[in-house]
Amino acid sequence: MSAICLIRKFSMKSPSRFHRSLLFSTFSKESPPDLARNASIRRPYSSSISGQRFVSPSIWRFTQPNWISEKTRSISVFSIRDFSTSIETIATDKSFERIQVQSGLIVEKIHRNEEETLDESVSKIDVKEIEKSGDEIVETIIGGKVREESEAEKEAWRILENAVVRYCGSPVGTVAANDPGDKLPLNYDQVFIRDFVPSALAFLLKGDGDIVRNFLLHTLQLQSWEKTVDCYSPGQGLMPASFKVRTVALDENTTEEVLDPDFGESAIGRVAPVDSGLWWIILLRAYGKITGDFSLQERIDVQTGIKLIMNLCLADGFDMFPTLLVTDGSCMIDRRMGIHGHPLEIQSLFYSALRCSREMLSVNDRSKDLVRAINNRLSALSFHIREYYWVDIKKINEIYRYKTEEYSTDATNKFNIYPEQIPPWLMDWIPEQGGYLLGNLQPAHMDFRFFSLGNFWSIVSSLGTPKQNEAILNLVEAKWDDIIGNMPLKICYPALEYDDWRIITGSDPKNTPWSYHNSGSWPTLLWQFTLACMKMGRPELAEKALALAEKRLMADRWPEYYDTRSGKFIGKQSRLYQTWTVAGFLTSKLLLANPEMASLLFWEEDYELLDICACGLRKSDRKKCSRVAAKTQILVR
């Protein structure tokens, strides 16, 4: 029997706030002598992955927390000053293996013999030395125990694994909810593209890429299916909102499994899922970044799928703005909530998908025009959102003094916004040092509600400027009780009430004030919030929110959402054992424990976009671009 122990130090701090060290682990002389023969660990981000399995430095989930056998008596740890991005086996000694590991100290046992008996106790680390070198301090806790999963984490993994859906024997996704007491699951027994994203990240971060690869390829096949609603077919490239594995009879003795997709023809309101294709592209990039398997995105069918989605999004229309025009209910908020037009959530995902596509597309004669269009749209979209969606106390005061009915290319009030649209609650609510991106913007209309997903993903994708991103987190911290409350996080703030609720939602009984999409609290948003906090070097905010959620989620049976202004009650129609609630919690835990992996999932500022403008390619005296005049106002560091 043989085993490999990987040693890594856990830290909940962001990579910019702590020094990493390399450690060598040495097994005791009682370790089996055949360890040196198993020198087959590959680089974690190598593209040479056998069977699509890979060794990730982020693996820290233990199916058995008490996994160190009595034979492993002690581990001597030596500090080293140099950094490395690899895990390498040094097989020069027959009695033990040394494994070079990036970023700290954890112990994981990888069994090659499943019949090995595990001891009931967790061995302690015998620390030999604390080394100080200049400003660098490498510490390990004397006599400290290796971090174990909490009971909530263990249960969350069991729920997530039980939610896995198989097609022809292979895992292809997770159901939306797996509540054993739910007698009428509606479409909660299907695999949703947007819902699966946090599940996919949890699996990837623990080292399981098979299910994500299968999901990406099978949903890609569904993209080409014929889609018809009342004799009308939407454009090519549309991804389904969800799919279900069904068993159909071929004859009396033979059955076959098929995938049954829903492109919106069965959805409430019959709305096409605009965000599905955007999330698919984002997940495709994440798969390559975490596993190192870039061969998937280089496949001809995958490249074609990316192009079809981009062509659908970039198609010419009547719109005057670079933002994507959509109907109500076309994203996470899939019911009537007054977000039709240019909602921030769609724009932030659109911007992110554009950056992913530019990164993954193979540039050749057939794709160069598309890549050029993507670059132009990225430049225009980033400027538009930063310049016109941003609100802070200074901007609100500017809107308060707007003149209306301006007919000029030099108009200040370009969208003819009436100052009376500023809601009374906003005047006192906006903090001095914070700000956020509007929920929606179109002619004569500004939606001043704070939408969490749109703002957090704007941080992750660098759609906002660095100062704007910092100000968004400042606002969350200042208004913690409103946005986080007793259960993170509000999907939007504040709720539509009274006449606004009756007119805008159509008196929707599910979207009553402070419930569901109408300012309900959704724990799944934890992972986007965590990623945004880690990017900005403020993981303590995410840790605080995660600790708050962990106190209740397990006891409350992992609800879909919470109701009331502070998120105190489980939602009145909330499904229990909601998969993306479970996955959002686990992904947040994994990201905080592995900041180097989190850094693979967000984007830094692209300064080249600030200099790209399609207007410079056109010769017209009538066209006057406001980008040049306002460029100095774009806040970059």
Per residue in 56-71, pLDDT (tens digit) is: 444 343 333 333 334 3
Alpha-carbon separation of residue 88 from 42, 125, 141, 209, 256 (angstroms): 7, 22, 25, 21, 45
pLDDT at 45: 31
Which residue did the predictor score with more confidence, 49 or 605? Answer: 605
Are 403 and 416 in contact by the 8 Å Cβ rule? The answer is no
What tens digit of pLDDT does each residue of 406-436 get?
Answer: 998 889 999 999 999 999 999 999 999 999 9
At residue 632 the predicted structure's pLDDT band, cuts being 50, 70 and 90, is very low
Q: What residues contact 422, with CB distance under 8 A and at least 6 apart?
A: 396, 399, 400, 448
At residue 22, does pLDDT exceed 70? no
At residue 147 the predicted structure's pLDDT band, cuts being 50, 70 and 90, is low
**DSSP secondary structure letters along 149-216:** --HHHHHHHHHHHHTEEEETTEEEEE-SB--TT-S--TTTTSEEHHHHHHHHHHHHHTT--HHHHHHH
At residue 613 the predicted structure's pLDDT band, cuts being 50, 70 and 90, is low
Average pLDDT over residues 499-509: 96
Are 171 and 165 in contact by the 8 Å Cβ rule? The answer is yes
pLDDT at 32: 38
Alpha-carbon separation of residue 6 from 55, 127, 175, 417, 631 (angstroms): 11, 16, 33, 59, 49
pLDDT at 627: 53
pLDDT at 384: 96
pTM equals 0.77
What tens digit of pLDDT does each residue of 585-603 get?
Answer: 999 999 999 999 999 999 9
* Cα maximum dimension of the chain: 85
Distance, CA of 590 to CA of 204 (rounded, Å): 10
**Locate tokens 């997903």: which residue?**
453
* Average pLDDT score, the chain: 79
